Amino acid sequence: MKQRMSIGINRFVGIMSFIAWLYMVIRGGDGQALTAKSIESLKYFTVLSNLFNGVVSFTYSWWLSKGSKLTANKKLCKLISTTAVGLTFITVIGFLGPLYGYGKMFQGANFWLHLVLPVLSMASYMFFEEDLQLPFKYTVYPVLAPLAYGIGYVGNVLMNVSGRKLHDFYGFFLWGNKGAVVAACVVLLITWLIAVILNRVGYYCKKYAKGM
């Protein structure tokens, strides 16, 4: 039953990630709700993380349906992608929602990319997928994705000082360069904590459910 749920959720997430992105590409947005037309939308971590998670989720559902053995590398891929969309969700709830307004954050394609798909992905990882706990050191790997994105983001803002407001669409530089560094460190710490929670708490939730 749990495996069927996992297959269904992951397949749904995989398909809807691309449908939501295509909707954004076709319909676009005004930029204030963190949307953009065409491939310009790929500048957002939300879009990149959801597309990556969509590929991993759909592939994961295919592995499960074929009875493929779950390995540490496969589980790590799932942890990295789920942590990425988990970061998107937490950032929207704790920072971007108050900054831009929750109405804008959860409208159109962003209703799926900011809320539905991240929540489904985290729920599937913690409650329905196989209880293979990765070694603690593996929780560092999910931090690499936002770290790489952050380096590119900060570099782009610093190279475009005159258009800083346009390029700093996540508002990390609202409190100056030092504030941006602090914000980046907080994001990386949150990312790691999400990975730890998914890996540890998810494992014990499934072990507890097995014992009931």
pLDDT of residue 75: 93
Sequential pLDDT tens for the chain (212 residues)? 788 899 999 999 999 999 999 988 887 654 556 777 778 889 999 999 999 999 999 999 999 898 888 889 999 999 999 999 999 999 999 988 988 889 888 988 899 999 999 999 999 998 888 777 899 999 999 999 999 999 999 888 888 877 677 788 888 888 888 888 898 999 999 999 999 999 988 666 666 655 54
pLDDT of residue 209: 57
Structural domains counted in the chain: 1
Largest CA distance in the chain: 60
pTM of the predicted structure, to 2 decimals: 0.90
What is the rounded CA–CA span in Å between residue 78 and residue 59?
10
Residue with tokens 């909707």: 23
Domain that holds residue 59: 2-211
pLDDT of residue 113: 96
Backbone angles phi, psi at 131, to 5 degrees: -85, 60
Backbone angles phi, psi at 129, to 5 degrees: -90, 165
Token pair in block for residue 191? 């990312």
DSSP states of 66-115 as a string?
TTPPP-HHHHHHHHHHHHHHHHHHHHIIIIIHHHH-HHHHTSTHHHIIII
pLDDT of residue 29: 57
pLDDT of residue 171: 80
Query: Which residues make Cβ contacts (< 8 Å) with residue 119, sequence separation at least 6?
Result: 89
pLDDT of residue 212: 47
103 within 8 A of 78, measured Cβ to Cβ:
no
DSSP letter assigned to residue 135: P
pLDDT of residue 163: 67
